[in-house]
Structure 1
Amino acid sequence: MSFVSRRCTTFKTFLHKPTLHKPVAIRFFSSPVYHQRPRVNNNQLILPSQIPQRKMSSTQKKDNKIFTRDNLFDLKGKVALVTGGGSGIGLMATQALAANGAKVYITGRTKDKLDTVVSTYNKDIPGSIHALPADVGNKEGVRKLFDDYSKHEDCLCILVNNAGISSAHFQTESESAAEMKEHLFDAKKSTFEDWNNTYNTNVTGVYFTTLAFLPLLEKSSEKHQGWSSTVINISSISGLIKSAQHHFAYNVSKGAAIHLNRLLAAEIAANKLKIRVNSIAPGVFPSEMTTEGSDKHQKSHIPTEKYKEKVPAGRPGKDEDMASTVLFFAVNQYLNGQTVAVDGGYTLAAGQ
């Protein structure tokens, strides 16, 4: 055997049949991409680009439709009740909910104001607005509201506790203890009645209204699959900041309302009820409480320049600012037991 022949024979002993490798899954982001090493088939080299890629299943694809505003904020078929819905923040909440498909009942002590809202804003919207006069400042009034509402609906999807009042204003700046006592204790308008009335509406009314409607809120969660009914309590940044803002009773009541929100959320969750409870703490928004009243359309107005230097945002809140927050609270199924300040940065400047 020649040298060349021996060399060729030796070389042949090192040749083996091509080994096929199993696919290796390489994960990019959330979808696996399958890659194969080059392989030989029938003496031909097959490149990775020539190997058919395994298609993703339908479950691996995200449907972008779930992220559209029509899907995220659609309230068609949902029923809401807004206390104090005849003006201010209550009216903003009412318009936001009705404009996105909800059937909204508004309550208040003044029927004329409620009727004005219905005649003005219950048009060209996918939802609807209905007046239901009531006084949630006492237990009898809350019970009557529940009975009247139950005549029309068998469940409640969204409860907005917005009804509230302010308290007497006092000068808090003083140069001595005696002067501070004179301003805050000796003043004729400084009374237990003022404190009790403020607390009664801003805290006690929220408590009893929420409890009264718990059965109907629970029915909504049972009726609408994938939905948990919600209670939205309108508190205030006055319950968060360290300043009394010249009205101790009001700020104390809002601080109590914020804590009540947390307590209600915790106890309802402990009882395994599918009902969410959250609180919006507004900053300066146009309302009958922050202005001298409402116009013929039940809207209030605050000059922008009045808060240009007081609020980092350089302006008071707009209807849209409150509306988007109400919608977020209504539809977000993972939000519970929270208080969110919507204040243009007011609390950053005022301090908590």
Structure 2
Amino acid sequence: MSTQSVAVASHNELNRNSLFNMKGRVALDIEGEIIALTADVASKQSIAKLVREIESREKCLCILVNNAGITSESVTTETETASDMKRNLFDNDKATFDDWTDTYRTNVASIYFVTAAFLPLLQKSLELHPGWPGTVINISSVSGLVKSAQHHFAYNASKAAAVHLTRMLSAEIAESGHKIRVNSIAPGIFPSEMTAQESNEFQKSHIPRENYAKKVPAARPGRDVDMAQAVLMLAAKQ
């Protein structure tokens, strides 16, 4: 079995350090390594540095997963009058242009710039591994597909933008003749620091199953294996 490297870039040292705890949890029958890196995907300078770091270690990049995401301020949409709704959506001190631009910067623009920066390394995947083109997997959200704002307009709008950005990148890259696939996954509710507001030393979060027993068709939050299966399907040779 060939040795594989998985590089995980985090925006802060705390998350980066927790990746070292994960190394001992990797299956013993899989040869390879987890490389912990620090990068700010909302900065072109940091992205360029990340690309140089990967180039110094690897001849190509086979799979790129854009998983960075932040939530936006919540607003109350259930109101009795239009004036009440205006007060919640516009007069509210938390309703700011900065909230919208910060959310889009991480949830949308980072996908564009990170993908664009890694295109040469992704293209080399097919050159070094015939039949296996580089692939980009963007993690969006079902919140970008539903018509409800779910109390956070900026977040849901950014996830809808991420879905459409995936379509545009896929179309333009293919139109240019480059052999790189671009897809997105739109998960429902999954345990994370965003949804559970906390995580343990292995960056694992927990949401009680009963919290969603009557809210989603599966009657439970998502599990690691659910996400892994979706990623494996998109990463597989097609």
The match for 1:236 is 141
CA–CA distance in structure 2, aligned partners of residues 331 and 224 of structure 1: 13
**1:223 aligned residue:** 128
Structure 1 residues without counterparts, runs of 5 or longer? 1-75, 78-100, 334-352
Return structure 1 stretches of 4+ with deviation > 4 angstroms. none
1:114 corresponds to 2:16: yes
Name the counterpart of 1:177.
Answer: 82
Provide the secondary structure at the position in 1 that maps to 2:11.
coil
Q: Does 1:268 align with 2:173?
A: yes
Counterpart in 1 of 2:114?
209
Residue 160 of structure 1 aligns to a residue in which SS?
strand
The structure with the largest alpha-carbon Rg is: 1
Q: Which has the higher contact order (CA 8 A, sep 6+)?
A: 2
SS across alignment from 2:196: coil
| Structure 1 residue 142 displacement after superposition | 1.1
**Structure 2: 5+ residue stretches without partners:** none
| Cα deviation digits, residues 191-212 of structure 1 (max 9, x gap) | 0000000000000000000000
Q: Is the 8 A contact 2:18 2:202 kept in 1?
A: yes
Residue in 1 aligned with 2:71?
166
Q: Which residue of 1 aligns with 2:162?
A: 257
Deviation at 1:126, TM superposition (A): 2.9
Aligned counterpart in structure 2 of residue 157 of structure 1, from 54, 58, 62 = 62
Give the secondary structure class of the aligned counterpart of 1:103. strand
Q: If the length of structure 1 is used for normalisation, what is the TM-score?
A: 0.65
Deviations, residues 145-196 of structure 1 (Å, cap 9, x unaligned): 1112211112100000001110000101111111000001011111000000
CA RMSD across the alignment? 1.2
State the 1:119 CA deviation.
Answer: 2.8
Tell me the SS of whatever aligns to 2:217. Answer: coil
Please point out which of 209, 225, 232 is paired with 1:320: 225
Residues 333-352 of structure 1 show CA distances to partners (whole Å, capped at 9, x for unaligned) of 2xxxxxxxxxxxxxxxxxxx
Task: State the TM-score, normalizing by the size of structure 2.
Answer: 0.95
Code of the aligned partner of 1:195: W
- Tell me the secondary structure at the aligned position of residue 327 of structure 1: helix
Cα deviation for residue 296 of structure 1 reads 1.8
Give the C-alpha shift of residue 107 in structure 1.
0.4
Alignment of 1:48-67 (within 5 A): none
1:140 shift after superposition: 1.3
Letter in 2 for 1:219: K
Q: How many residues align?
A: 235
How much has 1:112 moved relative to structure 2? 2.8
